[in-house]
Amino acid sequence: MNNRLRLTQASLIATLGILLCLITVYVPMLSILSIAIPVPYAIIGTLTDNKYSILSLIITFFILMFTIDPLYSVSLCIMSIVPGFFIGSAIRNKKEDNFNKFEPIYIGTIVTMICVIVFFFIANIIFKTNILDDFMNVLKESMNVQVTIMENSGIILKEGFKVSDIVDYINNMLPTILFLQGIIVSFIVYALEIFVLKRIKIINLGLPKFTDFYLPGNAVTVSFMLYILVLFMDLIKVNLHTDLIMLNLQLVFNFMFMLQGISVSIHYFKKWIKSGSLKMIFISVLILSIFGFMGISFVGMLDSIIDFRRVRSYKST
């Protein structure tokens, strides 16, 4: 594809992306469409190269800055458009049939979390706005209003109930919440992009099957190294709330291993149903019912090491 055609494609798609940004701001009823803002830019990342992706990002930034406001422009470009580019770029670089279809979702999740941290520092340093404090204050006020409404309605709350305790708990769990949000948003963007590209008959890629889900690389080794790093920071008295870091790491990896464990279980249940191995199904259900989610997470962790389903013929690194 020549440069002129790529420029034309990027310009047209970026125009649609900018219109979508403006619609979600000036038409409040359509603000739910904001989750689809990364999709046009993911398509740009897939159909063109990095040069045109950066060019469309710059154009979008300046148009939004003058039509809305600088803070919104920065937040949208960093937290929505940049992850979209990375998801699209992952598809562009991995178009072969046997590539790991979950990879764009992993990349989108990681980039989304990094972008949130970057935007937090930019907003704090340049715009003198503490996004985290503002969010927690709004959350606290909202919950206080809800508690007041419930009390006025005659609903008796549990003794010792405090809004501040719930707010503190959410604050401590924020990294895990952002991670889960990143997974959901990345999957939605990826699915919408694949749908659009298939409809316009440019790229014929299918969505990943949940039974093929696996964590990239050696997830067990990575989790172990992160735990060792956090313990080392605690030993040398680094004041970084290592207990909260450890808690969020544990929750994230337990959740991911649980997803992989569920994927393995579904894979084998389908296999045993087809072969009529009711005894294996009964034993597996009995074991999983005894150990619960912990047992499913353990199965997922083992699959990360052994690869029971042989789905990693193309291993991620």
pLDDT tens per residue, range 218-246 = 677 777 777 787 777 667 765 556 677 77
Distances (CA, A) of 117 to 112, 186, 215: 9, 17, 23
Of 293, 287, 257, residue with least CA distance to 269: 287
Q: Is the predicted pLDDT of residue 315 greater than 50, yes or no?
A: no
Q: Which structure tokens are listed for 101? A: 């279809």
Strands (E), 204-315: none
* CB distance 221 to 240 below 8 Å: no
Decide which of 115 and 4 is more confident.
115
Query: Quick one: average pLDDT of 133-143?
Result: 83
Phi, psi of 201 (to 5 degrees): 60, 45
Give me the chain's average pLDDT, please. Answer: 82
Of 114, 18, 27, residue with least CA distance to 62: 18
Measured distance CA(9)–CA(47) in Å, rounded: 8
* CB distance 312 to 214 below 8 Å: yes
pTM score: 0.81
pLDDT 10s digits, 13-36: 999 999 999 999 898 888 888 899
| Residue 23: predicted pLDDT | 92
| Residue 84: predicted pLDDT | 93
| Residue 2: predicted pLDDT | 59
Q: Is the predicted pLDDT of residue 176 greater than 50, yes or no?
A: yes
Query: Quick one: average pLDDT of 36-47?
Result: 91
Query: Quick one: average pLDDT of 27-51?
Result: 89
| Residue 37: predicted pLDDT | 92
What's the pLDDT band for 94 if we cut at 50, 70, 90? low
What's the pLDDT band for 95 if we cut at 50, 70, 90? low
What's the pLDDT band for 288 if we cut at 50, 70, 90? confident
What's the pLDDT band for 174 if we cut at 50, 70, 90? confident
* CB distance 191 to 109 below 8 Å: no
| Residue 316: predicted pLDDT | 43
Helix axes 174-199, 103-125, angle to 10 degrees: 120
Most confident option among 43-52, 74-83, 137-146 = 74-83
Query: Quick one: average pLDDT of 78-100?
Result: 81
What's the pLDDT band for 97 if we cut at 50, 70, 90? low
CA-angle at 53, arms to 51 and 56, nearest 5°: 110
